[in-house]
Amino acid sequence: MNSKIQFYISTCPNDTFVSYGLINQKVNLDNFKIEPHYFDIRQLNEIALEGKADIIKVSSAILPQLCHLYNVLTSGAALGFNCGPLLIAKSKDIELSSSTKIAIPGKNTTAFKLFKRYYGDSFEFVEMLFSDIEEAIVGGFIDAGLIIHENRFTFQNKGLVELTDLGQKWHSETSLPIPLGCFLIHKKWDLKSQLFLDNALTESVLYAHDQRDDAMKFVMQFAQTMEYSIAKKHISLYVNDETKRISEQGKLAIMKLINEESFKNNCTFVR
């Protein structure tokens, strides 16, 4: 089998940080060659549905639709602790109703799944690139928005306010971390290869921590419009022990999010 790995991630700081060692061959890859591709999370979810990727970062919420094609790597995941996607608006006094226009970063994202869990789906939803949501609210094109990634650190600078932290609501309900996203590997690879690549991604996470300055230089190549301090805050928030290897608690959180029985019947963790 071809040893080229079509590797798909977003340009989000936590994705590029944990993948630095893998993409730049700083860890043992044996005979594998990583060919990276960079897309927005909504696009990544769509690419995964097409089965194009060998390894791909996706929203945890979309796992039930992908388990026939992929297994779940236990490394590289983004799990938040008492923090997650934010619902924001111009004012805390906004009344949410069926006519409220709410921007979302994608219908298959964990952010949208969480919103529906706590607010239902009787709203006018508008899909857009996550980084465009703040300006859409400021411009009055939409009433509220679900923001993800580094925008949790920037929205206040534009005069916007937080209505809800969906990660906090999840934690209050479950006492579990919120499984925002994880890496998948295509089932066409044999188990030995899957285990090797899962371990290689763990080594990449550890390497980025050990060589943080170099890893951050790589991160900032994809985050040129972002302040260095914000990229660091984002990484500190979402690159944690669960990123090195998902714990049993982390696995339980994933199963809780997408329906435990459905996951057990259809999905497999590589280790």
Distance CA 39, CA 57 (A): 10
Question: Is 149 among the residues known to form the active site?
Answer: yes
pLDDT of residue 264: 65
The pLDDT of residue 265 is above 80? no
- At 191-243, the pLDDT tens digits run 999 999 999 999 999 999 999 999 999 999 998 678 999 999 989 989 999 99
Domains assigned to the chain = 4-80+178-266 (3.40.190.10), 86-174 (3.40.190.10)
Tens of pLDDT along 127-176? Answer: 998 889 999 999 999 999 999 888 888 899 899 999 999 999 999 999 99
Q: What is the mean pLDDT of residues 68-85?
A: 94
Q: Is 61 exposed, middle or buried (0-12, 13-18, 19+ CB in 10 A)?
A: buried
pLDDT digits (tens, 9 = 90+) for 2-48: 589 999 999 999 999 999 999 999 999 999 999 999 999 999 999 99
pLDDT-derived band at 261, boundaries 50, 70, 90: low
pLDDT at site 268:
87
Q: How far is it, in rounded angstroms, from Cα 19 to Cα 165?
A: 27
Query: Does the pLDDT at position 266 exceed 80?
Result: no
Of 239, 258, 261, 265, the C-alpha closest to 113 is 258
Mean pLDDT of all residues in the chain?
A: 93
Reading the block at residue 198, the tokens are: 């899962």
The catalytic position among 149, 171, 186, 234 is: 149
CB atoms within 10 A of CB 139: 9
Residue 271 pLDDT level (bands cut at 50, 70, 90) = confident
For 18, how many CA atoms within 13 A lie in the half-sphere containing its CB? 33
Alpha helices in the chain (DSSP H): 13-23, 41-49, 110-119, 133-138, 166-174, 191-210, 212-221, 228-238, 241-244, 248-258, 260-266
Residue 1 has pLDDT above 60, yes or no: no
Q: What is the pLDDT of residue 142?
A: 95
